[in-house]
Structure 1
Amino acid sequence: MLRKLPLYLSLLLLTQCSKCRRDDPAPVDQLPPATQTGAGTFGCLLNGQAWTPRGNDGFANYSVSYDPTYHLGTLSVAAYRLSGNGADQQTIGFSSDSVRATGTYFFKKAGRHQAGVEDRATTCRYYSQDAGVYCKGYFAITRLDLSAGIISGTFAFTLHKPGCDTVRVTNGRFDRKL
């Protein structure tokens, strides 16, 4: 019986861990809601895990800029999060010109709409316009209200670069006052 005690304790521990995981909210439920009120929110799933801005390196960890007068409407959305002692930083973002109205805009290799992810921990930097980087995805502007000063939308994209793991950004949402 004493010889089997470590086995029984291990099985008990494993069943308790799996129970905790069943009770945890799904990753998508850990994201901020997809609002259109200028709530100042940003979130997505990064390779299936909830990702929201976190930490501060002296600059805002989430920014949105939109200029309707430059290049037919220039948009930039970016967020970062710091981990550990702040040395590990991940950044997710996208930008475009020619954004004048609500609608869906697709990322293309040589197009106006660009996506990017940086990960200091792995030293991988994925920019959709760089040679050798695969990018497929979109962003959708769901509200562009200049009189109220609100821009909101959703996004999803996949990036791959030789020598780095594939990055999948899904269920993305942002909502910001301009």
Structure 2
Amino acid sequence: MRKLFLYAALLLLTQCSKCKNDDPSPLERLPPATQTGANTFGCLVNGQPWTPQGNDGTANYTVSYDRFPDGGILNISTYKIYGQGATDFQTLSLWAKQITGIGSFSFLNTSSAIARFGDVKTNCIWRSADNTTTYRRGTLTITKLDLTAGIISGTFDFTLYKPGCDSIRVTHGRFDKKL
């Protein structure tokens, strides 16, 4: 009887590990990188999938592009409510100016592009243009800007560090929005 119990337990344990191996990777859990105006946004934050979610009474993903003679200004704002607590709230935003078409913008040049990530639970806000952020790297790349069809798409990645907060590493970022 003991052998039967041990075999059953072993079978159960092997089945649980099999399920774990079949789970999609964090990267596979992101929306695909498209250029069709699919209304998608996603990235990995410190290796974990991050997409807008929840509702605080405002849209959890907005994109605006305002035209100007020397190029447009892009503003992407997102947030994620990931639990029931008042502090289970994160924000991610990207901003760039003088966008006239496809191209890349460095977050090192804070006069042309800014990345921001906020985490209410840790009370940390990382901003590439903030003097308290001592390490900043990354780019925002516009892969499609079609004003006739009203579509803007792109990719992004950045790493920010400031004293008193862990570093924040955002990779494999992508967005695709109908304006």
**What TM-score comes out, normalization by structure 2 length?**
0.88
Instruction: Output aligned runs, 1:19-168, within 5 Å.
Output: 19-69=18-68, 72-85=71-84, 87=86, 88-108=88-108, 110-133=110-133, 134-168=135-169
AA at the equivalent of 2:177: R
Runs of 5+ unmatched residues, structure 2: none
Partners of 1:12 and 1:120 in 2: how far apart?
43
CA RMSD, Structure 1 to Structure 2 (Å): 2.2
Partners of 2:16 and 2:159 in 1: how far apart?
31
AA at the equivalent of 1:140: T
Partners of 2:123 and 2:39 in 1: how far apart?
29
Residue 30 of structure 2 contacts residue 43 of structure 2 at CA under 8 Å; is this kept in 1? yes
Deviation (angstroms), 1:70: 6.8
AA at the equivalent of 1:172: G
Deviation (angstroms), 1:68: 1.6
Q: Deviations over 1:133-175 (max 9, x none)?
A: 1210001101000000000000000011101011110000000
Residue 105 of structure 2 contacts residue 112 of structure 2 at CA under 8 Å; is this kept in 1? no
Partners of 2:121 and 2:15 in 1: how far apart?
31
Partners of 2:163 and 2:15 in 1: how far apart?
39
Q: 1:104 to 1:19 in 2, by over 3 A?
A: same
Q: 1:15 to 1:167 in 2, by over 3 A?
A: farther
Partners of 2:125 and 2:69 in 1: how far apart?
27
Partners of 2:114 and 2:121 in 1: how far apart?
23
Q: Deviations over 1:53-93 (max 9, x none)?
A: 10000000001100122762100112111022252111111
Deviation (angstroms), 1:109: 5.4
Residue 36 of structure 1 contacts residue 175 of structure 1 at CA under 8 Å; is this kept in 2? yes
SS of match in other structure, 1:153: strand
Paired residues in the alignment total 173
Partners of 1:70 and 1:130 in 2: how far apart?
28
Q: Deviations over 1:3-33 (max 9, x none)?
A: xx9xxx7x88876554332111011000001
Runs of 5+ unmatched residues, structure 1: none
Partners of 1:158 and 1:13 in 2: how far apart?
41
Residue 42 of structure 1 contacts residue 53 of structure 1 at CA under 8 Å; is this kept in 2? yes
